Structure 1
Amino acid sequence: MSARVLIVDDLFPNLKLLETKLSLEYFDVVSAMNGPDALAICEKGLCDIVLLDVMMPGMDGFEVCRRIKTTPTTAHLPVVMVTALDQPSDRLRGLDAGADDFLTKPIDDTALFARVRSLVRLKAMTDELRTRAMASRDFGFGDPLAAAAAETGQNARLLVVDDRRASSERMAGALGQYHCVEVEADPQRALVRATEGHVDVAVVSLDLDGFDGLRLCSQLRSLDRTRGIPVVMVADAGDRDRIMRGLDLGVHDYLVRPVDRNELVARVRTQVRRKRFADSLRESVQASMELAVMDGLTGLHNRRYLDAHLAGLFAESTLRGRPVSVLLLDIDRFKSINDRFGHDAGDEVLRQFAERIRAHTRGIDVVARFGGEEIVVVVPDTGLDGAQQVAERIRERIEAMPFPIHGGTRAIDVTVSIGVAVRLPEDGGPASLLKRADTALYRAKEEGRNRVVAAAA
């Protein structure tokens, strides 16, 4: 997988060495020799991952990383800090700044390439979501990236899979200060828990008795219901080959025994933040998709959805020789409601009108706001007689109960006129079916309102 890697180092020989290594692995490389230039490249979207030297004059790597991770437009970028510092306190400082990993000089090429590919792969999974989620701002949802950048990464549900009691208790004790932790010694039961429960991060020991922990990691990454759960491996220092294999399988992060409790907490926090970032993007996309086809006032489908869906139902009805009917409903004298009681009251009536219609239609029926106070109900696999019965039930329900307005302080009587039409062989498309329903509705209005009229065959 190719990607654009930003190398940040104030020493030119270090830049050229890393650039040569990564270019030979078919990565595109850009470089910066100080923090401000690196931030500018990130903000312009010119890189997919950052390899960041810690020891730089002026703005050091920790500060550069912190700024990348707290800026909404760059918080998604993976940052690997490259340093000669190898103390746990140094790693912890970088992880607290938001770094995704540390590589210690001299850099092991295999570890470098495996980590870069792993992080780039994880980033690619959210890039499309980021692009689509940004459109949600146009629907008034706010900025999903800003919300993600402010995430604390705490109060998550964690699953620790380790059959070493002392080890699992230490990890649970460290993580339990910030999260809800469940411990499972049996890998098969752990997989079931992850599948059935709401797990935010799984911490998996690779050294399970009689079972390859890497296989559990692979299962978690491959199953539909667990694929979105970040997985953190815990391995022995000499288990380098399996760590590299795990990263190739898509495992998100790893720790080497003896596990530093502060590093464990920091790495898990990073994974929680990353998962919630992806979840928030996904929710924004879903919400914007729903809003694109929903009417904001009534909660019904809108005209755009109706036009697309009715065309499909009409074509299917023609192909299968099955009936499809349409009800066109219009509140009687709705303008007078707005004039007498105000537009807020009119909106209250429309919302309740939509609710009553929904209550008397099936799940397979399409209910959509056609425009103004008009609502269309598409009734598949239903002939004219059946559609008239549905329309009459709705009409009776509207007339039977007054509509509360002004927050329930008063109520008014409302009636509805309904035109009904069924698809005919000569109908050229949905437009002609809707036209005949509209003609029937017009007749219902002319004949005194508060009635159902069916279009002539």
Structure 2
Amino acid sequence: MSARILVVDDLAPNLHLLEVKLQAEYYDVVTAKSGQEALDVAGEQKPDLILMDAMMPGMNGFEACQKLKQNPETWHIPVIMVTALEETKDRIAGLEAGADDFITKPIDDFNLMARVRSLLRLKMVTDQLISHTGHTSSNSKPLLDSIDAKKGNILLIEDHKLRSEKISAPLKKHHNVLNEGDPVEALKKAKSGVDLIIVSLVSDSFDGLRVCASLRFNEASRDIPILIIGDPEDEQRLLRAYDIGINDTLMRPIEIQEMQARVNTLLRRKFYADSLRENFNENLEMVVSDPLTGLGNRRYFERAIDPFFVGLKEKQEVFSIIVFDIDHFKRVNDILGHDMGDQILKEVAARLVTNMRAIDVVSRYGGEEFMIAMPKTSEEEALVAADRVRSLIAGTPVYVDGQALHITTSAGVAEVERGEQLRDVFRRADDALYKAKQGGRNQVVSAAASHSQAA
């Protein structure tokens, strides 16, 4: 995974050592020798990850990290605090300043790279979601403010009752915690409504690493962040956990404030990713659907009928296009108002979609115009279907706010010819619709009949 990493340290030997280690893994490395320089470089270069020395003259790493996390342009960049300090209070200070992880010197290469890869995976997913939804790092700050107030649903997998209660008790003050000692039941519960999973590696009755692997294998829990709890001396299993795909580790004996800080960091990222994903789905729906009627829009229609053109070209499978238009709709809007017009549009849309086949593609093409594609249907067959629907619409009043309104439609029908594109067949169907309007409305005209009349 290629990425740009900013290394911050006031000592040149330390900078050079980390630069060499990271470049050996093919990362692009930029450096800074002070907290202020780190802020400047981060603002200009927008790195994917920052390795920050905690103890520096002037602005220390904690202060620099806090400023990075307060800046709407850089808050989303993961920060790993690097220091010789092993005091729990220093780890907590770093995490509360916004650091995503903490590594003590002397730095173990495997441990460093495992944490770097884990945080880069999270950053990559966040960047993808931001680009897909139109969010930017600066305009997502209001979203963060709302996320901070959210409660998380945490699943704790630990078979020792006393340890389980000691872990969950402080977390229950701010989040919903479900304790589960049976890994089989835990895997079932992880499939719905869980925001974070905490797995104990010191449980007596199950292998915590195997549980983590199962969680990552299962599609329903694949994206849920995992925090594991283990012993400091069990380094190889902890490193293996990162390879499996866990997100963070917590060492025993557990310091409550550190646990809360790590849990809050993981939940914050999860909620942010969820919100972006929801926004992406909403935007995607808006791109291909008409918000008023719920039908597909023009873009949806054009994409949906691509296979029909392929079928016509390769298998000579005929299909036809129908263009429906509500008669005198402008007059309806002018006299009754746009709200009434919207209700009529929704009712006509509902009648169109419920009276066509499931395989037909029905969309609102614009204004009061609807487009229908009928696969494996000749022009004559489409003409019959269109006239049947036209008759149903004309024969049944539309009730809006207690008023019975008699609405009629006109339609043009054209069978797609080999070599045509959508714009070609649409033009022929639209010409037929124009003939139907000229002929008195409330009728259906085929492109073939329209052509013969013109001739």
What is the match of residue 415 of structure 1? 408
Q: Counterparts of 1:120 and 1:136 in 2: how far apart (Å)? A: 18
Residue identity matched to 1:169: E
What is the match of residue 95 of structure 1? 95
8 Å contact 1:133–1:144 — kept in the other structure? no
Residue identity matched to 1:86: E
Query: Which deviates further from its counterpart, 294-303 or 180-189?
Result: 294-303
Provide closer, same or farther for how the CA distance between residues 71 and 391 of structure 1 changes in structure 2, counting only shifts above 3 A.
farther
Q: Counterparts of 1:181 and 1:364 in 2: how far apart (Å)? A: 46
Q: Counterparts of 2:286 and 2:135 in 1: how far apart (Å)? A: 12
2:148 matches 1:155: no
Q: Give the drift of 1:340.
A: 2.6
Q: Give the drift of 1:210.
A: 4.3
What is the match of residue 453 of structure 2? none
Q: 5 Å matches for 1:235-384?
A: 235-384=230-379
Residue identity matched to 2:441: R
Q: Counterparts of 2:97 and 2:402 in 1: how far apart (Å)? A: 55
8 Å contact 1:388–1:454 — kept in the other structure? yes
Provide closer, same or farther for how the CA distance between residues 388 and 300 of structure 1 changes in structure 2, counting only shifts above 3 A.
same
Q: Give the drift of 1:255.
A: 0.7
Q: Give the drift of 1:358.
A: 3.0
What is the match of residue 446 of structure 1? 438
Query: Which deviates further from its counterpart, 426-435 or 108-117?
Result: 426-435
Q: Counterparts of 1:145 and 1:386 in 2: how far apart (Å)? A: 56
What is the match of residue 452 of structure 2? none
Q: Counterparts of 2:296 and 2:104 in 1: how far apart (Å)? A: 56
8 Å contact 1:72–1:149 — kept in the other structure? no
SS where residue 86 of structure 1 aligns?
coil
TM-score by length of 2: 0.88
Taking only the aligned residue pairs, the percentage that are identical comes to 45
Provide closer, same or farther for how the CA distance between residues 92 and 390 of structure 1 changes in structure 2, counting only shifts above 3 A.
farther
Q: Counterparts of 1:37 and 1:352 in 2: how far apart (Å)? A: 62
Q: Give the drift of 1:89.
A: 2.5
What is the match of residue 172 of structure 1? 168
Provide closer, same or farther for how the CA distance between residues 24 and 394 of structure 1 changes in structure 2, counting only shifts above 3 A.
same
Give the root-mean-square deviation of aligned CA atoms.
Answer: 2.9
Q: Counterparts of 1:366 and 1:395 in 2: how far apart (Å)? A: 17
Q: Counterparts of 1:363 and 1:430 in 2: how far apart (Å)? A: 21
Q: Give the drift of 1:235.
A: 0.8
Q: Counterparts of 1:325 and 1:211 in 2: how far apart (Å)? A: 61
Provide closer, same or farther for how the CA distance between residues 420 and 275 of structure 1 changes in structure 2, counting only shifts above 3 A.
same
Provide closer, same or farther for how the CA distance between residues 6 and 153 of structure 1 changes in structure 2, counting only shifts above 3 A.
farther
Unaligned 5+ runs, structure 2: 450-455
Provide closer, same or farther for how the CA distance between residues 205 and 440 of structure 1 changes in structure 2, counting only shifts above 3 A.
same
Provide closer, same or farther for how the CA distance between residues 225 and 381 of structure 1 changes in structure 2, counting only shifts above 3 A.
farther
2:187 matches 1:191: yes
Q: Give the drift of 1:272.
A: 1.0
Query: Which deviates further from its counterpart, 286-295 or 174-183?
Result: 286-295
Residue identity matched to 2:229: V
SS where residue 219 of structure 2 aligns?
coil
2:33 matches 1:33: yes
Q: Counterparts of 1:186 and 1:385 in 2: how far apart (Å)? A: 65
Residue identity matched to 2:256: R
Deviations 1:359-400 (A, max 9, x none): 334443322232332110112234456534543453345335
Q: Counterparts of 2:425 and 2:278 in 1: how far apart (Å)? A: 37
What is the match of residue 78 of structure 2? 78
What is the match of residue 56 of structure 1? 56
Q: Give the drift of 1:240.
A: 0.8
SS where residue 44 of structure 1 aligns?
helix
SS where residue 215 of structure 1 aligns?
helix
SS where residue 295 of structure 1 aligns?
coil
What is the match of residue 19 of structure 2? 19
What is the match of residue 120 of structure 1? 120
Q: Counterparts of 1:363 and 1:259 in 2: how far apart (Å)? A: 58
8 Å contact 1:6–1:47 — kept in the other structure? yes
TM-score by length of 1: 0.88
Provide closer, same or farther for how the CA distance between residues 136 and 367 of structure 1 changes in structure 2, counting only shifts above 3 A.
farther
Provide closer, same or farther for how the CA distance between residues 120 and 322 of structure 1 changes in structure 2, counting only shifts above 3 A.
same
User: In the alignment, which of 212, 218, 221 is matched to residue 226 of structure 1?
Assistant: 221
Matched residues, number: 449
8 Å contact 1:294–1:301 — kept in the other structure? yes
8 Å contact 1:52–1:61 — kept in the other structure? yes
Provide closer, same or farther for how the CA distance between residues 358 and 89 of structure 1 changes in structure 2, counting only shifts above 3 A.
farther
Q: Counterparts of 1:104 and 1:29 in 2: how far apart (Å)? A: 20
SS where residue 306 of structure 1 aligns?
helix
8 Å contact 1:221–1:227 — kept in the other structure? yes
Provide closer, same or farther for how the CA distance between residues 180 and 57 of structure 1 changes in structure 2, counting only shifts above 3 A.
same
Q: Counterparts of 2:363 and 2:266 in 1: how far apart (Å)? A: 41
8 Å contact 2:322–2:412 — kept in the other structure? yes
Q: Give the drift of 1:178.
A: 1.5
